[in-house]
Amino acid sequence: MRLKSDLPVALKYQAVVIEGAASEAGLEFFDVVFELLNAKDVNGVAAYGGFPVRYPSWRFGMEYERLEKGRQWGLSKIYELVINNDPTYAYLVRSNSLLEQKLVMAHVYGHADFFKNNLWFSPTDRRMLDTMGHHSTRIRRYIDASGQEKVERFVDLCLSVDTLVDPYLPLRERSHPPDARSLYTPPSERALRSLEALSMSSEEPEEAAETEGGRAPLGSLPTYDVLGFLEKNAPLEAWQRDVLHIVRNEAYYFAPQRMTKIMNEGWASFWHSRLLTGGVLEPSEILDFADCHSAATMSPPGQVNPYKIGIELYRHAERRGEDIFQLRRVHNDVSMVHKLVDETFAEDYLRPICAPNAGPSEDGPGWRDMKVWLLHQLSWGGLPQIELLEVDAEGAGELVLRHHHDGRDLQLGRARETLSNLAALWKRPVHLLTILDKQGRCIVADGEEVTVVETSEAEALCGGGERSGDGSEERAAG
C-alpha cells in the first residue's frame, strides 16, 4: 500500500483500517495515494479536471472561479477528488472533520474499485497523469514557438467541440483493433509524432496527406467521431493537428465518466455506507454520518441525483438477488437502468423526482414513462447524439451532420456557437440537420454567420418524436 507520508497519523491509520475493510468486502483497486490539500487548492485541481499538470487554458481558470465562488458563498463544496490512474490519486480537503475524512476515504475506495474493474474504463490510459504532463509540455512548446494567444485560441476551439466523439469507439477498437492508427498509442509513438510535428513546416502535413485526387483520404463515413475525422482531414498546421489529437485523446479518457456517472457515484456511496456502518465508525459518529450521507443523497424534484439513484439501484439489485459485482463490471448507466428499473423502483425513487408531464396520461406518468424519462436523461452520456454523415459530394467540401432527435430539442444558441467553431476548424461551411419545435431544420455555419432554414429532409433523417419531460431536458450540441 502507498500512502502519502505527509498525511497526519490519525488519517493514515484510518486509511489503513478502511482499505483493509474494503479489501475484505471484495473490492479490488490499484494502490491509492492520498494527498491532503486546502479547499482552495482542491478547487484548483478540480478546475483542471483533476490534473494539476494540465496545459493552460482560460476555461480552466473560469471553472476555478466558479468553484471558488460556490465555496465562498456556501453554495457548493468538494469533499474529495479521485483520479482514474494507476496508482489512483485522491485529494482530501484539510478542513474536513475526522468523520468526513472517514466517509470520503471509504467513498474513494469505492471509486478506485469501479475505475479498475468497470468495462467502460478498461481502454482508458492508466498513466494519464504522466500523459497529461506530456501533453502540457508539447502545448507549452507550441506556445513558445507560435505565441500564447494564437495557441490558446486554437486550444479553445478544440475544447469547444470536445464532446463530439463516439463514446463506444474505445471498446470497439479494443475488441477489434483497426488497421489505421489506434486512439490509444504507446508513449514512444506519441513522442515520435510530437517530435515530427515540431520539426515539420505547416505545409508538410497537407502535402503528405494528399492523394492522387488532390484530397486527403476522408476515412469511413458516417461516424460519430467528429474529432477523429477533423484530426485526420481538416486543413491544419502540424502543431494544430497535434493539439487536436491531444484534446481528442483527453476527451476519450473522460468519456466513460459521463457514461457511468450514476453507477460510479452509486457504487462509491453504496460502499462508503456499508463499510462505515459495518464497524469503521464509532457509535458516537453514527448520527453525524447519517446527516452527512443524507445531505449527499437528497434528490430535489425534477433533478437526478446520481448518488441517490445509484445507491438505490445497487440496493434494489441486491434485494433481487443480483450479483452487484458483475453489474458494476459490465454495465453503463443506460444499460443498468434498463435492466434494473421496474415498477417498484420507479414508484419509490423516480416518481418523487420525475416531471409531472413525463408521460402521456393526464393522471401522471406510468412507471414505464418514468423509466423512459430517466433513460432520456442518460442517453449518450447526457449529450446530444451528433453524427457526421458526409462531406458534400458536389465538391464544395462542406460537412453535413445530423442530430438524432429523441424528443428533446437542441439549445439553439449553443448549437450555433458549436457549429461556428466547427466551421472555423474545417475552414468550410458546416450543416447540421435537426428538429426544432417539431419542424425539420438545417443550421448552417459558413465561418461568418450562422443561419437556420426549414427543410423536410431533416425530419426523415433525424427522426421525430414527441417531446418528453420538462423544458430542462434540452441539450446543447457541444
Side-chain half-sphere of 380: how many Cα atoms within 13 Å? 21
183 pLDDT higher than 60:
no
State the Cα–Cα distance between residues 136 and 53, nearest whole angstrom. Answer: 7
The residues facing 80 across adjacent strands are 92
Residue 150 sits in the same domain as residue 230 = yes
Residue 201 sits in the same domain as residue 215 = yes
Beta strand residue intervals within 309-457, DSSP E: 386-391, 399-403, 430-436, 439-445, 450-454
* pLDDT level of residue 406 (50, 70, 90 thresholds): confident
Closest CA to 418 of 465, 475, 378, 369: 475
Closest CA to 252 of 124, 140, 375, 159: 124
The residues facing 296 across adjacent strands are none
Residue 253 sits in the same domain as residue 162 = yes
Residue 141 sits in the same domain as residue 168 = yes
Beta strand residue intervals within 205-313, DSSP E: none
> Any idea which of 97-111, 157-171, 287-301 has the lowest mean pLDDT?
287-301
Domain contains 1 = no
Domain contains 396 = yes
204 pLDDT higher than 80:
no
Residue 34 sits in the same domain as residue 74 = yes
Residue 316 sits in the same domain as residue 334 = yes
Domain-terminating residue out of 380, 397, 413: 380
Q: Are 267 and 310 in contact (CB under 8 A)?
A: yes
322 pLDDT higher than 90:
yes
State the Cα–Cα distance between residues 7 and 4, nearest whole angstrom. Answer: 6
Domain contains 301 = no
Q: Are 445 and 420 in contact (CB under 8 A)?
A: yes
Domain-terminating residue out of 380, 396, 413: 380
Average the pLDDT over 85-102 and give the result: 94
Residue 143 sits in the same domain as residue 255 = yes
To which residue does cell 454567420 refer? 449
* pLDDT level of residue 327 (50, 70, 90 thresholds): very high
Cell numbers for 447, please give them: 465561418
Domain contains 46 = yes
Domain contains 3 = no
Residue 188 sits in the same domain as residue 91 = no
Over residues 364-393, the pLDDT tens digits come to 789 999 999 999 989 999 999 999 999 985
Cell numbers for 243, please give them: 493539439
| Max CA separation in the chain (angstroms) | 77
Residue 251 sits in the same domain as residue 347 = no
Domain-terminating residue out of 275, 296, 317: 296
Domain contains 406 = yes
**DSSP, res 56:** P
State the Cα–Cα distance between residues 17 and 463, nearest whole angstrom. Answer: 54
Domain contains 443 = yes
* pLDDT level of residue 242 (50, 70, 90 thresholds): very high
3-state percent breakdown (helix, strand, coil) of the chain, nearest 5: 55, 10, 35
Instruction: Give the long-range contacts of residues 68-75, CB within 8 A, separation 24 or more.
Output: 68/40, 68/43, 71/39, 71/40, 71/43
Domain contains 2 = no
**Residues spanned by the domain of 169:** 128-259
**DSSP, res 147:** -
Residue 242 sits in the same domain as residue 201 = yes
Residue 203 sits in the same domain as residue 317 = no
Predicted TM-score (pTM) of this structure: 0.86
Question: What does 208-239 look like in DSSP terms, one character per residue?
Answer: HH--TTSS----SSSBS-HHHHHHHHS---HH
Domain count, the chain: 4
Residue 292 sits in the same domain as residue 327 = no
